[in-house]
Amino acid sequence: MTMELSIHNVSVARQEKTIFSSLNFTAYAGDIVCVTGKNGSGKTTLLRCLCGLLPYQNGQICLSHNTGRYVQHTDSQWGRYVSFLGSKNPLYEHYSAQENIDIWCRYWQLPRLSSQEKERKLDEADLTKQRDTPIHYFSSGQKRRLSLVLVSLTYNSVYLLDEPDIMLDSCGQAYLQNLLTTLSERHVITFISTHHSKSIPSNQTLNLDEVSRHHCTHVSVTPS
Amino acid sequence: MLHSFFYVMWYDIRSYITNLSTLATVCLFYLSIIIVIPFGLDGNSTVISQSSTGFIWIAFVLCALLCIEKQFSQDIHTDILDILSLRYSLALICFSKAIAVWVAILLPLILFTPLSAILLHLPFSQLYPLLISLLVGSPAIAFIITLGGALSLTHNRGSLLVAILCLPLCIPVLIFGVTAASVSIYGYDNNTSGLKLLFALDLLAVALLPWASGEILRIELENK
């Protein structure tokens, strides 16, 4: 199955300030795209925009399959094709790790996991001891790892991970790399924003600094 | 679609119940207002018992406004709302949040009312119409609280300001609630117009406020 996510001439402005403009990019099935750039270059904005939380001003984002299925970003179905992990964790503080997995499965209409499966998933992320601990006793790295476990449970075409490596120790980094390889083998498209691009097994890089710079020259030309 | 509604509601109710601090604060505040009122009226028991339905209603509305801050408090620190909004309509989420706060906070508060009625010398014959009026009026208040919660989502310290904004919205409920509760004082036993108008306000709140809160949430998530 080949699949293609194309970003064509997209501009995003937030509160009347242009973050980036005329962004062109294409990612194919199995790609791990590393989104890099300085602080404030628009990494989070790009990912939130790709997952449909933010509108964009012009251009087009679409996902096409070789089966002929073609989904546009503006389509209400778009949310069914993306998995998103933001800079905060999607965890309920008063519930345990296992319960959070159950909640996630219900929200995403995934088949319920048996306790052995949950155990195995938590074991992979080295969270076995914390399986019955409420989340507010977790350290920030443990919360991040649990969030990655939750994301790994979904089966979608596009994964958007916003700085998943913050707060992770070396063991957590290894888990993340493992997860990324699995996703790549599943032939999904992964966008991952990070400041440590060396530790990510990516095969494409999208540097937003270059996009912004291109935009700056573009602006200086327009008045003349 | 519908199962998300039930699960959001269920997990919210469970959060309120496992973490009893909100419920305890609200109930204690309710009782303390009721206890303080006789001191302000110089212990004049005829005045107190004549206007006790009004006092109880005012105390109820003020206490309900205390929950504004808690309504979306866990969503400020997590990404659950963003992720839910990818698949489910925000209006539906607001609707289930309103039902959750009604079940977990306002219903227990109504159960506390007989105690405050005793403290204010409310004649026993008037307790029943008061409870009915609170029961019928409180859903509209729950939806107003949700609107306030949505407004205060991104302003961490704005919840007090939002409470001031929401208080005028509660005035119609208060007026018709007190009318419905004091029917028997004035002897119009068959006059249920107050209750009918409260029902009308409930329907109006159900029809309008979830959409309004959902739209506010959408704007706030875009500007997050």
If residue B72 lies in a helix (H) or strand (E), which one and from where to where?
none
CB distance B15 to B73 below 8 Å: no
Tens-place pLDDT, residues A26-52: 998 888 999 998 888 888 889 988 888
CB distance B94 to B214 below 8 Å: yes
State yes or no: pLDDT of A69 exceeds 80: no
Under the banding of pLDDT at 50, 70 and 90, the label for residue B184 is low
End-to-end alpha carbon distance in chain A: 48
Record: contact B74-A92, CB cut-off 8 A: yes
End-to-end alpha carbon distance in chain B: 25
SS3 content of chain B, % helix, strand, coil (to 5): 85, 0, 15
Judge whether A89 is closer than 8 Å to chain B, CB to CB. yes
Q: What is the DSSP letter of B67?
A: T
Tens-place pLDDT, residues B38-53: 999 887 888 888 889 9
State yes or no: pLDDT of B74 exceeds 80: no
Record: contact B78-A93, CB cut-off 8 A: yes
Residue A215 is predicted with a pLDDT of 46
Closest C-alpha to B80, from A114, A67, A89? A89
Under the banding of pLDDT at 50, 70 and 90, the label for residue A167 is confident
Judge whether A84 is closer than 8 Å to chain B, CB to CB. yes
- The tokens for B52 are 């006790």
State yes or no: pLDDT of A216 exceeds 50: no
Q: Which residues contact A167 (CB under 8 A, 6 or more apart)?
A: A139, A140, A141, A143, A144
Measured distance CA(B224)–CA(A212) in Å, rounded: 21
d(CA B14, nearest CA chain A) in Å: 9
> Would you put residue B42 in left (φ > 0), alpha (ψ -120 to 50) or beta?
left
State yes or no: pLDDT of A213 exceeds 70: no
ipTM: 0.81
State yes or no: pLDDT of B7 exceeds 70: yes
Bigger pLDDT: A172 vs A65: A172
Crossing angle (nearest 10°) for helices A97-107 and B80-87 = 20
Give the C-alpha distances (Å, rounded to integers) separating B146 from A152, B5, B113: 32, 15, 23
Tens-place pLDDT, residues B99-118: 999 999 999 999 999 999 99
d(CA B222, nearest CA chain A) in Å: 5
Share above pLDDT 70 across residues of chain B, in percent, rounded to a whole number = 93
Closest C-alpha to A103, from A160, A153, A139? A153
Record: contact B15-A54, CB cut-off 8 A: no
Query: Which among B80, B84, B86 has CB closest to A51?
Result: B86
Residue B169 is predicted with a pLDDT of 94
Query: Which among A84, A94, A103 has CB closest to B86?
Result: A84
Measured distance CA(A90)–CA(A151) in Å, rounded: 10
Judge whether B17 is closer than 8 Å to chain A, CB to CB. no
Measured distance CA(B124)–CA(A103) in Å, rounded: 45
Measured distance CA(A215)–CA(A202) in Å, rounded: 25
Under the banding of pLDDT at 50, 70 and 90, the label for residue B34 is very high
Give the C-alpha distances (Å, rounded to integers) separating A188 from A91, A176, A185, A206, B181: 24, 15, 8, 17, 61
Query: Which among B3, B11, B77 has CB closest to A103?
Result: B11
Backbone phi and psi for residue A32, each to the nearest 5 degrees, phi listed first = -115, 110
> Would you put residue A37 in left (φ > 0), alpha (ψ -120 to 50) or beta?
left
Q: Best residue in A77, A103, A109 to probe B by mutation, most B CBs within 10 Å? A: A103
Query: Which among B78, B82, B223 has CB closest to A84?
Result: B82
Residue B63 is predicted with a pLDDT of 94
Measured distance CA(A182)–CA(A30) in Å, rounded: 10
Query: Which among B4, B18, B78 has CB closest to A91?
Result: B78
Q: Average of pLDDT values for B165-183?
A: 90
- The tokens for B125 are 């014959």
Record: contact A94-B15, CB cut-off 8 A: yes
Under the banding of pLDDT at 50, 70 and 90, the label for residue B185 is low
Judge whether B73 is closer than 8 Å to chain A, CB to CB. no
If residue B105 lies in a helix (H) or strand (E), which one and from where to where?
none
Tens-place pLDDT, residues B132-158: 999 999 999 999 999 999 988 866 667
Chain B residue with Cα closest to A76: B87
Under the banding of pLDDT at 50, 70 and 90, the label for residue A97 is very high
Closest C-alpha to B111, from B120, B123, B102? B102
Q: Average of pLDDT values for A154-160?
A: 89
B122 Cα distance to chain centroid: 22
Chain B residue with Cα closest to A77: B87
State yes or no: pLDDT of A76 exceeds 80: no
Judge whether B10 is closer than 8 Å to chain A, CB to CB. no
Under the banding of pLDDT at 50, 70 and 90, the label for residue B4 is confident
Measured distance CA(A215)–CA(A24) in Å, rounded: 12
d(CA B204, nearest CA chain A) in Å: 28
Residue B191 is predicted with a pLDDT of 59
Chain A residue with Cα closest to B80: A90
Record: contact A86-B79, CB cut-off 8 A: yes
Under the banding of pLDDT at 50, 70 and 90, the label for residue A145 is very high
Q: Average of pLDDT values for B82-91?
A: 87
Q: Average of pLDDT values for A178-190?
A: 90
d(CA B85, nearest CA chain A) in Å: 8
Query: Which among A55, A90, A94 has CB closest to B18?
Result: A94
Judge whether B3 is closer than 8 Å to chain A, CB to CB. yes
Judge whether B18 is closer than 8 Å to chain A, CB to CB. yes
Using a CB-CB cut-off of 8 Å, the residues of chain B touching A50 are none
Record: contact A103-B85, CB cut-off 8 A: no
Q: Average of pLDDT values for A95-102?
A: 91
CB distance A187 to A155 below 8 Å: no
Q: Average of pLDDT values for B159-181?
A: 89
Backbone phi and psi for residue B172, each to the nearest 5 degrees, phi listed first = -60, -40
Record: contact A107-B19, CB cut-off 8 A: no
Q: In what order do the strands lie in the sheet with A189-193?
A: A82-85, A158-162, A189-193, A32-36, A204-207
Q: What angle do CA B84, B87, A57 make, to 5 degrees?
A: 100
State yes or no: pLDDT of B174 exceeds 80: yes
Q: What is the full DSSP assignment across chain A?
A: --EEEEEEEEEEEETTEEEEEEEEEEEETT-EEEEE-STTSSHHHHHHHHHTSS--SEEEEEEEETTS-EEETTSGGGGGTEEEE-SS----TTSBHHHHHHHHHHHTTPPPPPHHHHHHHHHHTT-GGGTTSBGGGS-HHHHHHHHHHHHHH---SEEEEESTTTT--HHHHHHHHHHHHHHHHTT-EEEEE-S-GGGS--SEEEEHHHHHHHHHHHHHHTT-
